[in-house]
Chains A and B, each alone.
Chain A
Amino acid sequence: MRLFTLNVEQQETENSYLIAPDNASDAILVDPTSFTVSMLRTIEDNELYIRSILLTHPRELRVSGIGTILKVYDATLYATYPNVHGYPTARVQGGDTLELSGFHVKVLSLDEYSRHAVMFSVSSFLFCGPAMSAGIVAENGTQIERMLLAEALRKQFSMLSPTTLLFPLHGPPSTIEAELTLNIDLTDPSDGGVL
């Protein structure tokens, strides 16, 4: 599997991710918040073609580039909403498994937090969107949102391999084990670590 992190400098730096099989061109784009020349260059230089676009939490994502991407590539949007910015999606919900570009993509719900928020698990990678970033749960959320989300994340993380790599919308990657053992938002539920 090939993985590319595509940084987009907006008001704050956001990460989009591009994943593709080793020997095929069909690729999956995760959480494109914009579509820049450098993103296009990465896609084209690696002879990739965007077939699928996964959106973890359309309400919280700036997805201004989707229209452009869909003009260039014949891709399908996957999201919890029936349409995003007027573009129809293939709706997904927690528990779904998608077969995309040769990958099994599992959809993990965060229902305790929001029925529109999901994470996507692909091989040993987990794309968690804005739900969390390394060391911090829902940086911009309210205290109650963060508490609910921490509970939902603990539940999902406990079912995944500790070596799973986490790729968030903001900031550096992490691992499930690192978050469960070092992130105080997730490790101290009894004393209300996030409150």
Chain B
Amino acid sequence: MYQSLQAGGNFSGLNVSQMPLLNLNIPKSEFRCCRFSRSAFRRMNFQDCDFINCTFDFAVHEEVQFIDCSFIHCVFSGARLHNFQMRRCELIENNFNGCHLSNAIFDDCDLTRSRFIGTHLFDTEITNCNVREAYFIDIVQKRLSFRMSNPKDAYMARPSANSGGELGYAPIHT
């Protein structure tokens, strides 16, 4: 399996849940409905990969880079992402609820409608990213930066009794 991943290609329904993946460079590939739940990635590099309806929930990723990748409707809930980088990635409508991110970088990414509800964002840089209609609700943050991004277009608060059920917009220090 390691060899086929490193060769790149189209993977549909691949299930590597609970498996460790170490020291791999994954070239242009498409992953559709693949399961990476509770996987452990360490020192992995993904380039030009597309992930569609894939799950990474409760995974542990350390020193992982995704460059020029796209993630459509993927689930990262509860994942622990340390020294984690996403650069020039399309991340439309992905689920990062309850993730623990530390030393993480999202650079030049489109995070439209992605959710970070209850997410821990420590030493995380969201730089030059589109966060339109993304949810950053109930987050726990320390040194979170939205440099050159548009947090004013994101949702930062839960509905309150006097908001008529609408999600609130709230300023955040950038």
Contacts and interface: CB of A to CB of B under 8 A. Distances in A.
Interface of A: 1, 3, 5, 7, 13, 134-136, 139-142, 163, 165, 171-175, 177-178, 181-184
Interface residues on B, range: 20 to 34
A174 B138 contact: no
A172 B95 CA distance: 6
Given A135-B115, A175-B55, 16 more contacts: A5-B53, A13-B113, A165-B53, A165-B75, A172-B74, A172-B75, A172-B94, A172-B115, A174-B77, A174-B95, A174-B97, A178-B75, A178-B77, A178-B95, A178-B97, A184-B118
A103 to B, nearest CB: 15
A177 B53 contact: no
B78 A184 contact: no
Contacts of B73: 5, 172-173
B55 A165 contact: yes
Contacts of A173: 53, 73-75, 95
- Main DSSP-derived SS at the B contact region: loop
4 closest A-B pairs (Cβ-Cβ)?
Answer: A178-B77, A182-B98, A135-B117, A172-B95
A49 B49 CA distance: 30
Contacts of B78: 177-178, 181-182
Interface string B122-145: 000000000000010110000000
Interface string B63-75: 0000000001111
Contact of B138 (A134, A139, A172, A184): A184
29 contacts: A3-B33, A13-B93, A13-B113, A134-B77, A134-B97, A135-B95, A135-B137, A139-B165, A141-B165, A163-B37, A165-B53, A165-B55, A165-B75, A171-B95, A171-B113, A172-B73, A172-B94, A172-B114, A173-B53, A173-B73, A174-B77, A175-B57, A177-B57, A178-B75, A178-B78, A178-B98, A181-B98, A182-B78, A182-B98
Interface string B141-174: 0000000000000000001000001010000000
A182 B75 contact: no
B77 A175 contact: yes
A7 B133 CA distance: 15
B159 A139 contact: yes
B115 A134 contact: yes
A1 B13 CA distance: 9
A183 B58 contact: no
Nearest to A177: B57
A17 B92 CA distance: 16
A7 B93 CA distance: 10
B79 to A, nearest CB: 10
A182 B17 CA distance: 19
A137 to B, nearest CB: 11
Contact of B93 (A139, A165, A172, A175): A172
